[in-house]
Structure 1
Amino acid sequence: MDADRAGRLVSQLQARDVMAHLDRTGVYECGIRVVLDSKLEARWDLAGTAGLEAEIVSDGVLVGFVPHVEGSEDFTDEQIVEQIATTRYTVEGLHPPTDGAGTQERPPSPPREDERPRWTDRLRRGRQ
């Protein structure tokens, strides 16, 4: 969304006591950053025809997202402000990110019997 529209939305959100800020996502693209707590924030974006959605980020790392809001492609500014201001950012309501990799943890590999001693092992033996 353009900077003028994002600025108007941020002002309206701040009037509703939402800690919202302008989030510059590109050269001519802006979004809305909502501070949730000291380390967690929601980055809302209205990317043209894609509609309204948000990424939940903790210290710059994606931890979840608010999925696409149905019908948000045609939302007015007031409807966008209402949606952002009333969204519940609970762990149960967020969807964890998926990167396509396996979600199962790999078991730790057993120590190798044929592993050669390391030079650090020799240093430790010398100090004993």
Structure 2
Amino acid sequence: MDENRARRVADALRDRGIDAHLENAGIDVYGVRVVLGGGREAIWGNEGTTSLAAEVLLDGDLIGFIPEIPGSEAFDEAQVADAIARADYREPVGQELPQAPPPAAPLQREGGLFRRFLGGFRYDSE
């Protein structure tokens, strides 16, 4: 996933109240990390593929995954955010829920006032 796209998707999820963060998994490897609680987190989009899939980790160990979502290579950012919001992480092989849970209170975007400084001015501001 492109860095700017991953940042915008994470922001869209935070606007829905989902604890999402930009994940930097290496040089030019970006994705979206969703904190699930209890030491669990889901990493979306850093597999280097154009389609959307996730790994579910518990304290860094793989405990499950969300298989590739059919047709996700053509998703726009809103559809990617919706697919991540509809993910069901309860089983080792996760699935998509028919509809997203209702939005919670929005979370503050990461970086605040110094967001562009922390990102090294690499992205376009809104």
Normalized against structure 1, the TM-score is what? 0.68
TM-aligned CA distance change 1:42 to 1:32, over 3 Å: same
Runs of 5+ in structure 2 lacking a partner? 96-126
Q: What whole-Å deviation, never above 9, does each CA across 1:15-40 have from its counterpart, x for those lacking one?
A: 00000001101211200000011310
CA distance in 2, matches of 1:46, 1:69: 14
CA distance in 1, matches of 2:37, 2:52: 22
Question: Which has the larger Rg?
Answer: 1
Higher percent of residues as strand? 2
TM-aligned CA distance change 1:49 to 1:43, over 3 Å: closer
Higher RCO, 1 or 2 (CA under 8 Å, sep at least 6)? 2
Which residue in the other structure is 1:66 paired with?
A: 66
Cα RMSD (Å): 1.8
Higher percent of residues as helix? 1
CA contact (8 A) 1:54 1:65 kept: yes
Runs of 5+ in structure 1 lacking a partner? 96-128
CA distance in 2, matches of 1:2, 1:39: 26
TM-aligned CA distance change 1:79 to 1:91, over 3 Å: same
Q: How far is the alpha carbon of 1:69 from its aligned partner?
A: 0.2
CA distance in 2, matches of 1:30, 1:44: 9
Q: Give the 3-state SS of the residue equivalent to 1:52 in structure 2.
A: coil
Which residue in the other structure is 2:83 paired with?
A: 83
Does the alignment pair 1:17 with 2:33? no
Within 5 A, what are the aligned runs for 1:1-128? 1-45=1-45, 47=47, 49-91=49-91, 93-94=93-94
Structure 1 vs Structure 2: percent identity of aligned residues?
40
Q: What whole-Å deviation, never above 9, does each CA across 1:37-94 have from its counterpart, x for those lacking one?
A: 1310000016565400000000110001000000001001110000001111112653
Normalized against structure 2, the TM-score is what? 0.69
